[in-house]
Amino acid sequence: MADPYKTLGVARDSTEADIKKAYRKLAKELHPDRNKDNPKASERFSQVTNAYDLLNDKDKRARFDRGEIDGDGNPAAPFGFGGGGGGRAQPGGGFRSEGYETGGPDMSDIFEGLFGGAQRGGGGFSSGFGRRAQPKGENVAYRLQVPFVEAATLEPQRVTLADGKTLDLKLPAGVETGTQMKLGGKGEPGPGGAGDAILTIDVQPHRFFTRDGDDVRIDLPISLAEAVLGGSIKAPTVDKPVMLTIPKGTTSGKTLRLKGKGFHKKGGGRGDQLVTLMIDIPANDAALATFVEGWKDHGAGNPRGAMGV
């Protein structure tokens, strides 16, 4: 007949905490979700669960220690019927089936610790008649770093989970740093099924693009000649470069708008790209310096006059 102490690998004088710790370790190692191709592990899991079921009940443990019941919880001669399975009457009333008794110890706290996420008001571990539904496994948190351009264009992301499996993740419209995505059943295994994988998105900064809501901003350098004379230049966007028309007489700080070149919006459509033109003056250009010296008296006056300075 099975000895629950030996089954759990603990001494007879072990404390409740020692017994609980031993059971947690064995249950995690032997749980069927982690040993799908090992029927012996499943059988052993059932044995350690039954052993803990008995020793976790103070009354049953005391009766076993006194020799009144065996390791399966059945009455030992001369205290009762002995042997056999199935439903049977018990001293003091009640019904017992295959070693489980209605109203027995609640195992939910054990599996909450093992697999996390107990489901209150309907969650919990069920090891017999009248017990609560089994809890799912623990959720697993991931942080996914997404390049700026790929976040703006919703480029699918290849994700490798803790179990080594990979999958292609479709980013949602409106994605930003802090956005969370749930992958159902991709977390830790549990008696009620696997938990979820929770991914938190971290959009990486770009070397020249910045984000402004659903819009993308960029400071675009232009030459003095392009600013004075105007013309068409190539400008980068999160999709691909486009041609941008520079008006004659453009000053630094002028902003042009490229429609639909921003981030995808939650409600549909896309933001814009705002291009701020910045005139790049070459350093130590003698010819330009000579030209400006001869031209400055023909300028438009004090450009700061409106500021009173």
Q: What is the DSSP string of 209-225?
A: -EEETTEEEEEEEEEHH
**Comparing 129 with 70, which gets the higher pLDDT?**
70
Cβ atoms 211, 204 nearer than 8 A: no
Q: Mean pLDDT over residues 104-127, rounded?
A: 47
Q: Mean pLDDT over residues 154-174, rounded?
A: 93
Cβ atoms 157, 166 nearer than 8 A: no
Q: What is the model's pLDDT at position 109?
A: 53
Check pLDDT > 60 for residue 54.
yes
Q: What is the model's pLDDT at position 132?
A: 61
Cβ atoms 291, 282 nearer than 8 A: no
Q: What is the model's pLDDT at position 280?
A: 95
Q: What is the model's pLDDT at position 49?
A: 86
**Comparing 19 with 36, which gets the higher pLDDT?**
19
**Comparing 105 with 143, which gets the higher pLDDT?**
143
Check pLDDT > 50 for residue 180.
yes
Check pLDDT > 90 for residue 134.
no
Least confident of 24-33, 72-81, 167-176, 270-279: 72-81
Check pLDDT > 80 for residue 32.
no
Check pLDDT > 60 for residue 99.
no
Band of pLDDT at residue 1, cut at 50, 70 and 90: low
Strand, helix or coil for residue 6: helix
> C-alpha distances in angstroms, 19 versus 10, 49, 52?
7, 11, 7
**Comparing 86 with 190, which gets the higher pLDDT?**
190
Of 31, 54, 55, nearest in space to 136 by CA: 31
Whether the bond into 78 is cis, omega within 30 of 0: yes
Residues whose CB is less than 8 angstroms from the CB of residue 229 and which lie 6 or more positions away in sequence, other chains included: 248
Q: What is the model's pLDDT at position 261?
A: 97
Mean residue pLDDT of the chain comes to 82
Q: Mean pLDDT over residues 221-244, rounded?
A: 96
Of 164, 142, 133, 127, nearest in space to 27 by CA: 127
CA distance linking residue 297 with residue 295, whole number of Å: 6
Q: What is the model's pLDDT at position 266?
A: 94
**Comparing 93 with 234, which gets the higher pLDDT?**
234
Q: How far apart are the first and last CA of the chain?
A: 101
> C-alpha distances in angstroms, 60 versus 24, 55, 110, 128?
20, 7, 18, 16
Q: What is the model's pLDDT at position 110?
A: 53
> C-alpha distances in angstroms, 25 versus 30, 265, 293?
9, 48, 85
Most confident of 79-88, 111-120, 258-267: 258-267
Least confident of 242-246, 268-272, 281-285: 281-285
Check pLDDT > 60 for residue 173.
yes
CA dihedral angle for residue 235, residue 236, residue 242, residue 247, rounded to 10 degrees: -20
Beta strand 215-223 with 231-235 is unpaired
For residue 53, what is the enclosing H or E element?
helix 39-55
Q: Mean pLDDT over residues 176-182, rounded?
A: 96
Q: Mean pLDDT over residues 151-173, rounded?
A: 94
Band of pLDDT at residue 88, cut at 50, 70 and 90: very low
Give 50: exposed, middle or buried? Use CB within 10 Å, 0-12, 13-18, 19+: buried
DSSP bridge partners of 215:
212
Most confident of 26-30, 84-88, 102-106, 117-121: 26-30
Q: Mean pLDDT over residues 208-226, rounded?
A: 97
CA distance linking residue 139 with residue 136, whole number of Å: 9
Check pLDDT > 50 for residue 125.
no
For residue 4, what is the enclosing H or E element?
helix 4-8
Q: What is the model's pLDDT at position 204?
A: 96
